[in-house]
Amino acid sequence: MINIPPSDKKRLVIVGSGFAGLRLARMLKNSGFQIVLIDKNNYYQFQPLFYQVATSGLEATSISFPLRKIFHGYRDFHIRIAEVQHIDPEKRQIWTTIGNVRYDYLVLAHGAGNFFFGMKNIEEKALPMKSVSEAITLRNAILRNFEKALAVKTIEERKVYLNIVIVGGGPSGVEVSGALAEMKKFVIPKDYPELKDSEIRIHLVQATDRLLPSMSERSSEFARKYLEKMGVDIHLNTQVRDFDGKTVQTEGCGDIPSNLVIWTAGIKGILISGIPEQSYGPGMRILTDEFNRVKGMDSVFAIGDNALTKEEKYPNGHPQLAQVALQQATLLSKNLVRLRDGKPIQPFHYKNKGTMATIGRNLAVVDVPFAFFHGTFAWMIWMFIHLMAILGTKNKLIIFLNWLWSYLTYDQSLRFIMQPEGCKCK
């Protein structure tokens, strides 16, 4: 058994400390539960800004925050660094890499992983961007390619290092494409004067007929125009078929010589032993009822990207967005108190407050239910909302100063290739 102090309170075990898990734990501060938070990392990471770490715009530490510091002052609150291996609903226990723990209520908020559509080569060789460590790996790969491009003699050899292929035209793909385009325009000419601007190509590959498919058509069109003006090669209705480490094979625009594929094309749920097979839906998301309770399991709930909750407006489940996770966590915190106190619980209904994506300096698109914004005003909205969502005053200040410096100087100062001693990174 995991060493958790005994308590006469109901024990709530939360798996995952992303948007959903963190909001739930904070909403239940000193609420009369004994809370056990389980995560494989000892820190919270702000996923929407991973792309800025990958493109040398921000330090990884500025978008991360120690979990134990977040929960200072919480009573009967316990953090354990582990990964969940199995759920035993009959005994109300979960098995982890450090032992098992009993629960009265279990909330699965462990997020989702990358989905490579069964393409093994892509899974092995492409670089995803779902964690701080992956963002740092990507930054290393981008900068290392520029260094390698200087060491080869022919233009054909350089293409492999100077073609960057981003797969997936959702917010992450659009944002990293824009950041790389600005890096190409403002930074590379100063850092690498031997490289010609025309040699560096940024390819954004999208399987559907428009970018940002989860947003309005106006947002999609403005994003496309902005990126094309910035020099990004956009390939719509194009699917990646294979990647051997030197060539990206596509159906739609032929082969692209490149050793760097940034994967933002899809996510899928993470299977956990003990959850019945019939409790999983499309994309391996866990099926829940209107109360976010896992179908077929008593006292087990799922919220966030790993959950699939249907309602009339969303027959295929809610979009995998931070706002959905936050709203689910807020209601569930109240429902858990009601359950403990023997009161009826309330169903979840998602309220769409809007979506947004930034493309670059003074360029963003914002969809809200009552309006649409683009350009500088949308960019300022995007910056303000993201800055306010960052944990810690120090982190907010660091990010704001980094953004201000980049805006005034057209430069970033975090272009480090950093890796452990003896690492065999390519």
- Is the pLDDT reported for residue 422 higher than 60? no
- 144 and 220: one domain? yes
Counting Cα atoms < 13 Å in the Cβ hemisphere of 176 gives 34
CA distance 382 to 341: 40
377 located within any domain: no
CB 80 within 8 A of CB 268: no
- 259 and 179: one domain? yes
- 52 and 97: one domain? yes
CA distance 148 to 153: 10
Q: pLDDT value at position 418?
A: 82
The full DSSP string for 125-179 is HSEE-SSHHHHHHHHHHHHHHHHHHTT--SHHHHHHHHEEEEE--SHHHHHHHHH
Structural domain harbouring 73: 11-114+267-340
Which of 265, 296, 327 is the last residue in one of the domains? 265
- 31 and 16: one domain? yes
Lowest mean pLDDT among 35-39, 108-112, 175-179, 420-424: 420-424
If phi over 0 gives left and psi between -120 and 50 gives alpha, with beta otherwise, what is residue 45? Answer: beta
324 located within any domain: yes
- 193 and 279: one domain? no
State pLDDT tens for residues 274-314.
999 999 999 999 999 999 999 989 899 999 999 999 999 99
- 171 and 100: one domain? no
Q: At what angle do helices 217-229 and 171-182 cross, to 10 degrees?
A: 20
CA distance 255 to 46: 34
- 325 and 300: one domain? yes
125 located within any domain: no
176 located within any domain: yes
Contacts of 161 (CB under 8 A, 6+ apart): 145, 146, 148, 149, 152, 259, 260
Stretch 134-158: mean pLDDT:
94
CB 80 within 8 A of CB 161: no
pLDDT band of 413, cuts 50, 70, 90: confident
CA distance 67 to 296: 32
- 274 and 322: one domain? yes
CA distance 25 to 7: 18
- For residue 147, report the phi and psi dihedrals to the nearest 5 degrees: -65, -40
- Is the pLDDT reported for residue 179 higher than 90? yes
51 SS3 class? helix
- Domain count within the chain: 2
- 147 and 257: one domain? yes
CB 292 within 8 A of CB 309: yes
Q: pLDDT value at position 414?
A: 84
Q: pLDDT value at position 421?
A: 58
CA distance 426 to 110: 30
279 located within any domain: yes
State pLDDT tens for residues 358-407.
999 999 999 999 899 999 999 999 999 999 999 999 999 999 999 999 99
53 located within any domain: yes
Stretch 193-211: mean pLDDT:
94
308 located within any domain: yes
Q: pLDDT value at position 332?
A: 98
If phi over 0 gives left and psi between -120 and 50 gives alpha, with beta otherwise, what is residue 4? Answer: beta
Model pTM score: 0.93
290 located within any domain: yes
Placement of tokens 């007929």 in the chain: 209
CB 122 within 8 A of CB 114: no
Which of 245, 265, 285 is the last residue in one of the domains? 265
- 260 and 272: one domain? no
Q: Specify the pairing of strand 300-302 against strand 105-108.
A: parallel
As a whole number, the mean pLDDT across the chain is 94
Residue 390: name the closest of 59, 98, 160 by CA: 59
- 107 and 135: one domain? no
Stretch 329-355: mean pLDDT:
96
93 SS3 class? strand
- 193 and 282: one domain? no
The full DSSP string for 96-128 is ETTEEEE-SEEEE---EEE--TT-HHHHHHSEE
- Is the pLDDT reported for residue 96 higher than 90? yes
Which of 241, 265, 289 is the last residue in one of the domains? 265
Q: pLDDT value at position 105?
A: 98
- Is the pLDDT reported for residue 412 higher than 80? no
Q: pLDDT value at position 304?
A: 96
Q: pLDDT value at position 423?
A: 55
CATH code: domain of residue 306: 3.50.50.60
